[in-house]
Amino acid sequence: MPTTDPADLSLEQKAKILTGRDHTTSHPIGEAGIPPIVLVDGPHGVRPPRTAADHLGINESRPATCFPPAVAVGSSWDPDVAVRVGEAVAREARAYGIDVVLGPGVNIKRSPLCGRNFEYYSEDPLLSGVLAAAHVRAMQASGAGASVKHFAANNQEDDRVHVSADVDERTLREIYFPAFERVVTEAKPATVMCSYNRVNGVFAAENPWLLTEVLRDEWGFDGLVVSDWGAVHDRVAALNAGLDLAMPMDWGVGEASVLEAVRSGELDESVIDRSVQRILALAATATGAETGSSGDFDVDAHHALARQLAAECAVLLKNDGGTLPLASTARIAVIGSFATAPRYQGGGSSHINATRTDAALDAIRALASGPDTVRFAQGFTLKGTDEAMRTEAVAAAREADVAVVFAGLAEADESEGYDRETIDLPAAQVEVIRAVAAVARRTVVVLSNGGVVSLEGWHDDVDAILEGWLLGQAGGGALADLLFGVANPSGRLAESIPFRLEDNPSYLNFPGELGHVRYGEGVMVGYRHYASIGLPVRYPFGHGLGYTTFTTAGLEAAPTGDDTAEVAVTVTNTGTRAGKHVVQVYVSTTAGPVRRPARELRAFAKVALEPGESRRVAFALDRRAFAYYDVEHSGWAVAAGEYTVQIADSATDVTAEAVITLPGDTPEARPLTIESSLGEWFAHPVVGPELTTRLSAAAPAPEDEEEAEENARLLRMAAPMPMSQFFLYAPLSDDDREHLLALAHASTSASVSVSASA
Ligand code: BGC
């Protein structure tokens, strides 16, 4: 067993081990028996380097199964899907001697333009956190460490290595932190990866508030903090902030600066010992096998699993007249280059060298009743369309019972490293969809895209839309399974599809300017914004259809003490096929002093039911489900008042609701001082009535109702005035003033109490 005690290493050895050896390994210390830790990208597969490694996925890696990326897993709304991806990825990681798989990414989809949205789960922190925690728990239980990333506020690629994400604390705590917090507290990842960007002006890699106060002191993280690749600018500042391992290699720059800082007394050796100890602890669990190992895993079984899981993720957005599922005997015109050359993952560091890929056309042919029933026309290529291609597509569509157009985005349209500028589908594809829909008896559009694409300009022309996102290497097979009803669609949108990009709340503040991106929309991200201002979207967060129908009934919600509640509802499959329903539980309130979103997802469950089967589904809502982050008191607060628990089919489709009343935190008066406003003095339960009494006694009584109203108006006008000023004008004696100030002092020395954690 290699040492885990920094005291066993020399200062030079310790300085060396704090920075990576190359792109995928930490420094081994042979003399001390310390193996390298092998950290390789994922997380929907592994990317073991062949020879030259890089962190942008430029060089081809050794083959691995490309499972559905996070954008797809997000749409499954099913922690079990995340578990099975996590377990399988760990099996492949072990086969390749990988100790830590870099991921999952739990950054929130703030804007549909973020080039890396395919690597993230959702615009909602609860959905992201629950799925990521399931992935991490399963992957680590199966023998590979995780690196939850990118902490924090890395919600765009544009200028990602410099930009300062300027975000108010409530928004960080309520939207951008909770997924990290859940993974850290529930799944205990081996490592957390800091992001490249600055958070409120300070690089995440050098941010002690982020990496130590929040991550370790508040959430209790005791694993290793690793930098994003090349995110460290000042090795000493990063160590002081709590960043342990700087990746990748830096040709000795970090090592030299650490040695110099310790020798000059600028850096306390205990600080490096703390980080070295964490690196040694992880190295002690490393296999030391490095990436030269066998790579033996069950390729066929993992491909079959990838197909099964992909089918859980696609979202059936529209299905007019029961167009889907297709009869196996239907004459089908398959159109679009994505049917033969599938788009199934995103570009950049998470890019997997898939063991094989399923083309949807082949899978459709395999499920159709005869080879002659399926005809293919390309319609367009990634470069565009022309008349010949369109004519061929239209001819095929005219002869068929149904046309299925495979449209989407090319890999070059979205990637790590840059953001998109539009959410439009390429114009050539829209043209082909419309031309086909104009002649086809029925038209189905199947989409492959990592970030949201607009459905405008063609949505109403087609009968059905299956949003496949990026489904991994077996996505083509899964799409065929869904089209023919071999599998029943059960995905739900993990992000809203707006009518216009401009409707997105981040629109005016994305991707920022002059090195800053201001998160001006605050907590009103995604559906929180649309629902709060009643802005219609094309399809809301949570939306998704299937080939059966469900009802939810018998909602019961009751407080369980300590500002928690239990909720139960009965789900019934009222259709004729087995299927899965996602029960979505939202909480809505106006209680408390801060603006709350119209509703927020607070629990969910995916339930599999046979036709006619019913099940009672229960949820325990914890305190946090009702809390807001109180920045004045640095803690989570529950306001006393009414909370509406809503069961919904999407963020805009509430099917049942129940109101509960919570006692909330004990409201204590804020300290009242001579600088508090007149309004605050009047509002105070003890001092307010006394002030009214003394004022009434001092001033002549109003002669009539009109004068009383005018007096009230004047007081309203003076309400924001500090008491120090009001005293100058008020008809109060010295005795009145002294008495009121003494009363204020005596009755308001305590402040509002809020808990540090909810
Ligand atoms: C990415 C990380 C990735 C790392 C290592 C960086 O460019 O932002 O997500 O894990 O490279 O390849």
137-173 pLDDT, tens digit per residue, is 999 999 999 999 999 999 999 999 999 999 999 999 9
Pair (458, 554) in one structural domain: no
* Cis status, amide bond into 248, omega within 30 of 0: yes
Under 8 Å between Cβ of 663 and 598 = no
- How far apart CA 190 and CA 136 sit, in angstroms, is 9
| 96-120 mean pLDDT | 97
Res 745 pLDDT > 50:
yes
Is residue 537 situated within a structural domain? no
Is residue 34 situated within a structural domain? yes
Pair (485, 582) in one structural domain: no
736 lines ligand 1 (CB under 6 A): no
- 3-state class of 608 per DSSP? strand
> Cα(56) to centroid of ligand 1, in Å?
7
Percent of the chain with pLDDT over 90: 91
- How far apart CA 370 and CA 468 sit, in angstroms, is 25
Is residue 208 situated within a structural domain? yes
DSSP 80: H
Pair (727, 644) in one structural domain: no
Boundary residue ending a domain (662, 695, 721): 662
pLDDT digits (tens, 9 = 90+) for 724-735: 999 998 889 999
Res 257 pLDDT > 60:
yes
- How far apart CA 365 and CA 231 sit, in angstroms, is 48
Pair (624, 730) in one structural domain: no
| 700-724 mean pLDDT | 92
55 lines ligand 1 (CB under 6 A): yes
Task: Give the closest residue (by CA) to ligand 1 atom 2.
Answer: 228
Q: Across the chain, what does the average pLDDT equal?
A: 95
> Cα(697) to centroid of ligand 1, in Å?
72
Q: Which of 37, 229, 418 most suits a substitution to test ligand 1, by most atoms within 8 Å of the C-beta? A: 229
Is residue 721 situated within a structural domain? yes
102 lines ligand 1 (CB under 6 A): yes
pLDDT band of 752, cuts 50, 70, 90: very low
Provide the pLDDT for residue 729.
Answer: 87
Task: Give the closest residue (by CA) to ligand 1 atom 5.
Answer: 55
State how beta strands 198-199 and 202-203 pair. Answer: antiparallel
CA distances from 211 to 34, 138, 171, 192 (A): 26, 25, 18, 9
Q: Which of 603, 547, 604, 553 has its CA nearest to residue 576? A: 547
Pair (275, 354) in one structural domain: no
| 286-290 mean pLDDT | 76
Is residue 181 situated within a structural domain? yes
Q: Measured from the CA of 150, which atom of ligand 1 is nearest?
A: 9
Pair (314, 228) in one structural domain: no
pLDDT band of 668, cuts 50, 70, 90: low
Q: 159, 228, 358, 481: which one is catalytic?
A: 228
228 is catalytic: yes
Pair (180, 278) in one structural domain: yes
Cβ-based neighbours of 375, under 8 Å, separated by 6 or more: 331, 332, 333, 334, 396, 399, 400
Boundary residue ending a domain (627, 662, 697): 662
Tokens for 391?
């004519």
Provide the pLDDT for residue 680.
Answer: 93
Pair (275, 317) in one structural domain: no
> Cα(149) to centroid of ligand 1, in Å?
9
| 423-441 mean pLDDT | 98
Is residue 518 situated within a structural domain? no
DSSP percent split of the chain into helix, strand, coil, nearest 5: 35, 20, 45
pLDDT band of 753, cuts 50, 70, 90: very low
Provide the pLDDT for residue 750.
Answer: 45
pLDDT digits (tens, 9 = 90+) for 176-235: 999 999 999 999 999 999 999 999 999 999 999 999 999 999 999 999 999 999 999 999
Q: For the whole model, what pTM was predicted? A: 0.95
Percent of the chain with pLDDT over 70: 97
23 lines ligand 1 (CB under 6 A): no
What are phi and psi for residue 353, nearest 5 degrees? Answer: -85, 90
46 lines ligand 1 (CB under 6 A): no
Domain count, the chain: 4
Element (H, E) at 680: helix 678-683
Instruction: CATH number of the domain at 399, please.
Output: 3.40.50.1700
Domain range for 89 is: 6-290
Q: Which of 349, 352, 415, 419 most suits a substitution to test ligand 1, by most atoms within 8 Å of the C-beta? A: 349
Boundary residue ending a domain (630, 662, 694): 662
Is residue 510 situated within a structural domain? no
Instruction: CATH number of the domain at 641, please.
Output: 2.60.40.10
Pair (422, 319) in one structural domain: yes
Pair (317, 282) in one structural domain: no
CA Rg value for the chain: 29
For residues 754 and 6, the model is more confident at 6
Is residue 716 situated within a structural domain? yes
123 lines ligand 1 (CB under 6 A): no
For residues 561 and 656, the model is more confident at 656
pLDDT digits (tens, 9 = 90+) for 487-522: 999 999 999 999 999 999 999 999 999 999 999 999
pLDDT band of 273, cuts 50, 70, 90: very high
Pair (573, 684) in one structural domain: no
What angle (nearest 5°) sits at the alpha carbon of residue 84, between those of residues 81 and 85?
85
Pair (367, 426) in one structural domain: yes
Provide the pLDDT for residue 667.
Answer: 65
228 lines ligand 1 (CB under 6 A): yes
